[in-house]
Structure formats: structure tokens, C-alpha cells
Amino acid sequence: LRGESLDRAEERLVSMCEERARMLQEQFGVTVNHVHALAILISTFHYEKFPSAIDQETFAKYTGRTSFERLLLNGVAFAQRVFHHEREMFESQQGWIMNTMKRELAPPQIEYAPVIFSQDTVSYLAHIDMMSGEEDRENILRARTTGKAVLTNPFRLLGSNHLGVVLTFAVYRPDLPDDASVEQRVEATIGYLGGAFDVESLVENLLSKLAGNQDIVVNVYDVTNASEAMVLYGPPSLDDQVPLLHVSMLDFGDPFRKHEMRCRYREKP
Ligand code: WA2
């Protein structure tokens, strides 16, 4: 550690780790808030207006021009709630047939969540029933019962195959009261707005700009289940064999999930 005292080295590690955790949490928070506002925009301009004031072109243009507000997301998309009895009508009106995340024809289900609007950067989501993916489906169900931002487990994203997490907000009919019950929420759900935090490339990009980045190794974990932490960012590592390790708490805004950042010094040859 360049001959500095152990105390000084530890102090420096703590401050670099806390700085990174604060920055990441801040960027997550800004992004989540902006996606929340987009969900309200869809509720207002797609459902309160007849005919809808939003179509794919308008959505792509607006979300593209506001992407600076969502630096850690690779894009946003809107999936509409469609019941089985509405499927035939929906598909003929749209002029396309929904498919699954595996690019197959969507088999019959009670309900679906096909993407009808997508930012250009995630155009590969168009026409996919997001309920056909396990992580996305869990998010959709939890988003609509809570009315809050929800995050998935870390998993490999469609398109990039990068490690990341998906953020989902339910979009409700505009008349839903603030104090609605769970049943009222589910009933008033008209779709889902969300996107993926591409942690593998966008967090890398964020951290690479900070001083001291060469000196330390940063990991982010989902520690919701304390006995089996899941890597969300950084190289696999055996933290218990490291002499100096600092753990910084992270709050990404989903109270159901726990995340933390662990920092250590890079091994010097
Ligand atoms: N967005 C981007 N890449 C993904 C993904 C996703 N979901 N799922 C797997 N790879 C439209 O919850 C609604 C976005 C899901 C929203």
C-alpha cells in the first residue's frame, strides 16, 4: 500500500467506497424518480385522452430526448396489460402478434404484458410479452400490488447479455385514489413502465471517471437473502480473505431488496 500506514490506507479505502456508494445511489434515485414521472405521463396522456396523445413515435422521441435523466438505464419501454379475451382484438388492432422473451409465439395465458412503446435503444423489446420472462413477471406482479418502484434479482439482460436489474412501475388508470387498497390497485392496472439498469456497462462507466479507480476493486451485491449474496457488479472475489475490506450500504429505493457495495485494494504485484 505504497508504504502508507494501515490506518491511513483504511481511511482512504473507506472514503473512496463511501463516495462511490453515494454516487451510485444518487444516480439510481434520479433515474427511478424520472421513470416514475414517465409512468404518470403515460397514465395521463395515453389513458386520460381519447384518442391517446401518445404513440410509438412520440414515445420514442420523448424518451430519447430525456434519456440524460436516466443515465444508468439502457432505455425504457411500456408494456400494456392485455387479458386473454382481448388478445385477438388487440393483435388485429396492433397489426402484430405478441411473442415471448424466447422469440416464440406467446402461448395462451390469463393475461399478458406486450411492449407497445419502446425507446429506440431497446427496440428489441417491441411486441414481447414481458410476463413471459420470470424476473420481469415477478416485477410486474409486485409493482402493481405495491404501487412503488420494484427491482429484480441481478440477471443477464436481453439484448446486451450484460448483468443488470430491471426497474418496473405499474401504470394505473388516472382515477386511482392515493390510498387505494391492493385489490383496487391490481384492478386499476393498465400497464407497466420500466427499463433495465445495465450495471455491467453503465456502472463501470460511472466509476471509471473517479480518482483512485485503479487502486481499488468495487463489487455491488444484492444481499436481500443474507446467506446467498448475488453479485450485481464487479469480479467474483473471496472477500473474507482480504485484509482491508469496506462495506458501504446502498439504498436503491425498493424496500424489498437490500444492496451493498464492498471495496478492497487491488492486489499489487
Ligand atoms: N428491459 C430491458 N432489458 C431487459 C428487460 C427489460 N424489461 N428484461 C430483460 N431484459 C417494460 O416492467 C416493464 C423492461 C420491463 C418493462
Neighbouring CB atoms inside 10 A of 71's CB total 14
What's the confidence (pLDDT) of residue 50?
87
CB atoms within 10 A of CB 224: 15
Q: Determine if residue 161 is left, alpha or beta; phi over 0 gives left, psi from -120 to 50 gives alpha, anything else beta.
A: left
* Beta bridge pairs of residue 39: none
CA of 78 to the centre of ligand 1 (A): 9
| Ligand 1 mutation target, pool 124, 157, 201, most atoms within 8 A of CB | 157
Write down the ipTM of this complex.
0.99
Burial 117-142 (b: 16+ CB within 10 A, else e): bbbebbeebebbbbbbbebbbbbbbb
74: three-class secondary structure by DSSP:
strand
pLDDT of residue 2: 61
Query: What is the per-residue pLDDT for 15?
Result: 97
What's the confidence (pLDDT) of residue 269? Answer: 44
Of 63, 61, 42, the C-alpha closest to 53 is 42
Per-residue pLDDT in tens (0 to 9) along the chain, 269 residues: 566 798 999 999 999 999 999 999 999 999 999 999 999 999 999 998 889 999 999 999 999 999 999 999 999 999 999 999 999 999 999 999 999 999 999 999 999 999 999 999 999 999 999 999 999 999 999 999 999 999 999 999 999 999 999 999 999 999 999 999 999 999 999 999 999 999 999 999 999 999 899 999 999 999 999 999 999 999 987 767 788 999 999 999 999 999 999 999 998 64
166 Cβ closer than 6 Å to some ligand 1 atom: yes
Residue 35 is predicted with a pLDDT of 98
From the CB of 157, is ligand 1 less than 6 Å away? yes
Q: Is 263 in the pocket of ligand 1 (CB under 6 A)?
A: no
Is 122 touching ligand 1 by the criterion CB < 6 Å?
Answer: yes
For 104, other C-beta atoms within 10 Å of its C-beta total 9
**C-alpha cell recorded at residue 24:** 451510485
Can you tell me the distance from the alpha carbon of 161 to that of 200, in angstroms, rounded to the nearest whole number? 10
- State pLDDT tens for residues 115-159: 999 999 999 999 999 999 999 999 999 999 999 999 999 999 999
Q: How many CA atoms lie within 13 A of 9 on its CB side?
A: 14
pLDDT value at position 174? 94
What strands, in cross-sheet order, belong to the sheet with 259-265? 230-233, 216-222, 259-265, 245-250
- Could you tell me if the CB of 77 is within 6 A of ligand 1? yes
**Which pLDDT belongs to residue 250?**
98
Q: Which of 130, 103, 100 is CA-nearest to residue 115? A: 130
Using most ligand atoms within 8 A of CB, pick from 152, 166, 167, 199 the residue to mutate for ligand 1: 166
Q: Which atom of ligand 1 is nearest to the CA of 118?
A: 11
